[in-house]
Structure 1
Amino acid sequence: MRPAAVPAVPPADGLGGGGVQYELKLDGFRCVAFARGEQPAVLQSRSGRDLAAEFPPIAAAVARLPEGLVLDAELVAWRGGRFAFGELLHTRRARTASPEVALGLIAFDLLALPGRDVRRLPLTDRRRLLLAALADVPPPIQPVLATTDRAEALEWMERLAPTGVEGLVCKASGSPYRPRGGGHAWVKYRRTDTVDATVRALTGPGRRPHALLLELDDGRVLLSTPRLTPVQSREVAEAARPHLGPPTPDPDHGTLHPLTTPLRAELLLTGRPPTATFLRLRGD
């Protein structure tokens, strides 16, 4: 199942009634983990690839589970008090994690028990069975933190944001598991961060720019998206007019209009890699 993106966290009766389960949204590799007894465990990615050879410690932990257990989960890396997606990429290439990195498999759904397909059961029953199946299982496999209390979920999301928690996945409590589906029974809310950045250049016509080339305070350079609205374009053009340098070609962004005096802007940063949505120019 794949959750649909929503702009706000739904209320407890907001997914068709019957209650909502709120889970932490983590930054990792989605995979379905198959425990197969004497055969090697399988960590199936969303594209169908087996990730087991790239993450041997996780595959070994899944192999120790009862044969026939199938989990839907997020494969994550943890370093220095934060979820570290970049370490997953490094581990995937190197086939081993550095000593400072802990790998984990955070299970959020149970698809099968030994000899029993449970996908048609409501989520509340699958959650109960998941917790029972993992009750005595040590790390690196753990159940995701979940609650049916919306206020508690929002508090978790804010309190754990410094650890890299992205937002919440919200699921109808009575929903069965529908492969490749989800519809409106599962939705995801991604937390956004408001940040300031430096406008280094404009793209498109100087009189009606399409986008801004932005430098974040940590040195990352991004192009604003989506395209500036007509009102935003006029405001940016007016503020930038006294500071426009000669246009220069750029292999990635076409013609740029650099600013001789940088302007400051307020953005919304969302997702991974981050998307920068322009909000306004700062007057300070």
Structure 2
Amino acid sequence: MRPAPVDDVPPEDGLGGSGVLYELKLDGFRCLAFARGDGPPYLQSRSGRDLSADFPPVAQAVSRLPGGLVLDAELVAWRDGRFAFEELLRTRAAREADRIVLGLIAFDVLALPGGRDVRGLPLAERRRLLAEVLDGVPPPIQPVLATTERAEALGWVERLADAGVEGLVCKSAASTYRARGAGQVWVKYRPHDTVDATVTALTGTATRPRALLLALDDGRSVLSAPQLTPVQARRVAEAAAGRLGEPVTDPEHGPVHPLTAPLRAEVRIDTGRVLRARFVRLRGD
């Protein structure tokens, strides 16, 4: 299941009204961990690749779990007091040379020892089962930090931002586990900041722009996402009328309409390892 992005943390009676579980969102490799008894463990990436050989400490820990247990989890790295996604991209030898700490942070159980499929149970029950099967299991395998109290979860995000915590994953307590998509029963929230930026070009047409090429005041450049809404596109087209130069090809974004006189915009910057800028409005100054 993959959570859908949202701009705000849902209330405790949101996501269907059955209660919400708020979990820390960690920056790592999503994987399913299969404990196979006498067989070798299997760490399955989202693309289906086996990660076991690349992360032996985690694989060895999974091999000590009861056979038939399947966990949904995040494989993470820890360095200098914070989660360090970039360490996961290095070679196994480089991580071992620097003694990088690895972990498997479990947030769901899909099958119990012996192979009993529990995906059809509500999340609240699966979380109870997860706590039972991981009771007494030492690191590097740990359950994710979670709460049913919205205020507590927001406090975690604020206090743990410096440790590399990205945000929250919020889940309906009644949700079953569906292999494809999660609709709006699982959502993810990243804190964001609103900043000013300069619109330097438009994609799409002059009358129906799709996105804005933005220059942030710190020197970075980014294409706005997602696509502008019809109302936003109309307002941008009206403001850009008379300011558009001849179309050119941007080496990264393809055909664009550059602005001969810049527009200023307010954009929302999401935290995380990938720069994301969501258009909010044009500024009048």
TM-score grouping bracket, smaller chain normalisation: 0.7 to 0.9
Partner of 2:102: 103
Deviation at 1:129, TM superposition (A): 2.3
The Cα RMSD (Å) is: 3.3
Structure 2 length normalisation: TM-score? 0.80
Where 1:229 maps in the other structure, the secondary structure is helix
Partner of 2:174: 174
Q: Which consecutive unaligned segments of at least 5 residues does structure 2 have?
A: none
* In structure 1, distance between residues paired with 2:278 and 2:138: 41
Q: Does 1:23 align with 2:2?
A: no
Deviates more, 1:15-24 or 1:216-225: 216-225
Partner of 2:202: 203
Runs of 4+ in 1 over 6 A off after TM superposition: 205-209, 244-247
Residues 116-155 of structure 1: pairs in structure 2 closer than 5 A: 116-117=115-116, 118-155=118-155
Where 1:112 maps in the other structure, the secondary structure is strand
Deviates more, 1:14-23 or 1:274-283: 274-283
One-letter code aligned to 2:279: F
* In structure 2, distance between residues paired with 1:247 and 1:18: 52
Where 1:43 maps in the other structure, the secondary structure is strand
* In structure 2, distance between residues paired with 1:172 and 1:203: 39
Partner of 2:112: 113
Structure 1 length normalisation: TM-score? 0.80
Residues 27-106 of structure 1: pairs in structure 2 closer than 5 A: 27-91=27-91, 96=95, 99=98, 101-106=100-105
Change (3 A) 1:58 1:17: same
* In structure 2, distance between residues paired with 1:21 and 1:165: 17
Q: Percent identity?
A: 64
Where 1:188 maps in the other structure, the secondary structure is strand
What CA deviation, in whole Å up to 9, does each residue of 1:173-218 have, x standing for no partner?
233333335344323333333234455x323599769444334455
Where 1:254 maps in the other structure, the secondary structure is strand
Aligned residues: 277
Deviation at 1:44, TM superposition (A): 0.9
* In structure 1, distance between residues paired with 2:13 and 2:264: 41
- Say whether the 8 Å CA contact 1:250–1:256 is kept in structure 2: no
One-letter code aligned to 2:101: A
Where 1:86 maps in the other structure, the secondary structure is helix
